[in-house]
Amino acid sequence: MSQRDVDHLLIGGGIASGNCARHLRRGGADGTITLVGREPDLPYDRPPLSKEYLQGSQERSDALLEDAGWYADNDIETLTGVTVTALDLGARTATLSNRDVLRFGQALIATGANVRRLPAPGAELTGIHYLRTFGNSDAIRQDASGKRVVLIGGSYIACEVAASLTTLGSTCTLVMQEALPLSRGFGSDAGRFFAETLGAHGITFSASDELEGFEGADGKVTHVITRSGARLEADAVIVGVGVNPDVSLARKAGLEVGRKGGVLVDAGLRTAADGVYAAGDVAEYVSVVNGGRRQRLEHWDVAFSQGRTVARNMLGQDVPHDAVPYFFSDLADWAAIEYVGPAEDWDREIVRGSLQEGSFTIFYLQGGVMQGALTVGRSDDLQVAVRLIAGSTDLGDRVAELGDLSSDLEQLG
């Protein structure tokens, strides 16, 4: 066991920590920086794991935020394959799984999230996969390519993986609680469009349904049984039913967890402990661009940009995290989805463009105030949506112009 001092301790080896390290150095930090991550890899992008990397068109190295040389050149210590097992906020120390103890000046908790597991009968069979890491994506490609695959979930992981596996020759069926894929966050009009897009490529649905259990032979899954009574043949199963923020370390250290399940931080991503921050999937923050609402989002761009906000605050700039949350998703090369928001409630959807032609934006409004916007093929529309959301602008009777292609959106916000 050794004990030593670190100026900036970044806990978690994901994109929030990685980008914080980059912006600390870019911002002129001259102290020591140590990044501790449980996984064997340096910080990497997870979005390709269900898309290009799963499809085999991207290498591991393409997904890395920075390569090992960059961390060395920038004098950033990376402890991969190492877990922070305890945080003492009074003594300002972190105990590592290799038994070292680091005394820190400032710390970032960016422990991310873990997949939510379904405790159904037969869950112990092989051939049932979850997806969070490079290794999971490798195993899915190996086990599910060209096979009959059942995916549990109707949100973006199940939809993206079904699309990617279809390009690898698999036959995919989604079992989902929703009547339409992706409709929980984006509504029924969008859901119908995504159902048609996926369906046009042979993906089928057991909709408004649920997993009941798995059947297998010789220890391997063979069938998925659903609550509606369907018995679906499955050579492999992928479960994509959401994640739980990994608050275990923070909670043990005495930090408060909020109603959205994340570590509570203020608008500048500060916890209640002096000089200790949280960012990314694990952070429940006060969003100055969403009317002061508490947000906890599992979006790549949020984790990435929050890493930068933490770096700036560690360097004494005292800035709020004021980016309007942005999300993207790809269904193979059939549809590229972009979204800003998030709209929690809305009473009106206005479509600009054409759902039939696959080039549209749906604006989600509460009264005359923009809450969110989803686009397929009309990215430019989001710039105006971002300004309207950030300004909480009430469009009043000009709302209809959003759907009128002859009106200039730029005039609205």
Ligand X SMILES: Cc1cc2nc3c(=O)[nH]c(=O)nc-3n(C[C@H](O)[C@H](O)[C@H](O)COP(=O)(O)OP(=O)(O)OC[C@H]3O[C@@H](n4cnc5c(N)ncnc54)[C@H](O)[C@@H]3O)c2cc1C
Binding piece for ligand X, criterion CB under 6 A, among 104-112, 141-149, 204-212, 253-261:
104-112
The CB density around residue 350, as the number of other CB atoms within 10 Å, is: 18
Minimum distance from residue 157 beta carbon to ligand X (Å): 6
Minimum distance from residue 19 beta carbon to ligand X (Å): 8
Tell me the residue type at 367: G
Binding piece for ligand X, criterion CB under 6 A, among 42-50, 140-148, 211-219, 311-319:
42-50
**DSSP tag of 401:** G
Q: How far is CA 318 from the centre of its chain?
A: 26
Structure tokens that stand for 397 in this block = 């009777």
Structure tokens that stand for 97 in this block = 């799984």
**Which of 66, 298, 349, 381 contacts ligand X by CB under 6 A?**
298
Binding piece for ligand X, criterion CB under 6 A, among 109-117, 190-198, 257-265, 287-295:
109-117
One symbol per residue from 258 to 297: x for binding ligand X (CB under 6 A), - otherwise; what is it? ----------------------xx----------------
Structure tokens that stand for 119 in this block = 């405790």
Q: Which helix (H) or strand (E) is 178 found in, with range?
A: none
CB nearer to ligand X: give 159 or 350. 159
**Which of 207, 249, 289, 332 contacts ligand X by CB under 6 A?**
249
Three-point CA angle 209, 213, 217, nearest 5°: 135
**Which of 100, 138, 215, 301 contacts ligand X by CB under 6 A?**
301
Minimum distance from residue 45 beta carbon to ligand X (Å): 7
CA distance 346 to 380: 22
CB nearer to ligand X: give 98 or 354. 98
CA distance 36 to 11: 5
Minimum distance from residue 84 beta carbon to ligand X (Å): 4
Minimum distance from residue 329 beta carbon to ligand X (Å): 4
One symbol per residue from 328 to 367: x for binding ligand X (CB under 6 A), - otherwise; what is it? xx--------------------------------------
Place of tokens 């005039």: 411
Minimum distance from residue 365 beta carbon to ligand X (Å): 23
**Which of 9, 14, 323, 360 contacts ligand X by CB under 6 A?**
14
Are the beta carbons of 402 and 349 closer than 8 angstroms? no
Minimum distance from residue 116 beta carbon to ligand X (Å): 12
Binding piece for ligand X, criterion CB under 6 A, among 34-42, 202-210, 284-292, 393-401:
34-42
Are the beta carbons of 102 and 34 closer than 8 angstroms? yes
CB nearer to ligand X: give 116 or 348. 116
312 Rama class: left (phi>0) / alpha (psi -120 to 50) / beta = alpha
CB neighbour list of residue 410: distance below 8 Å, 6 or more residues apart: 384
The CB density around residue 69, as the number of other CB atoms within 10 Å, is: 8
Near ligand X in 144-173, by CB under 6 A: 157
Q: Does the protein bind ligand X through residue 382 (CB under 6 A)? A: no
CA distance 253 to 88: 6
**Which of 78, 106, 111, 287 contacts ligand X by CB under 6 A?**
111
CB nearer to ligand X: give 284 or 298. 298
Which strands form 369-376's sheet, in the order they lie side by side?
A: 326-331, 335-340, 369-376, 359-366, 348-354
Are the beta carbons of 372 and 389 closer than 8 angstroms? yes
**Which of 34, 55, 83, 155 contacts ligand X by CB under 6 A?**
83
**Helix extents (H) in 201-230:** none
Place of tokens 């085999």: 56
In the complex, the residues that contact ligand X under the rule CB under 6 A are 11-17, 36-39, 46-47, 49-50, 83-84, 110-113, 131-132, 157, 246, 249, 280-281, 298-301, 303, 327-329
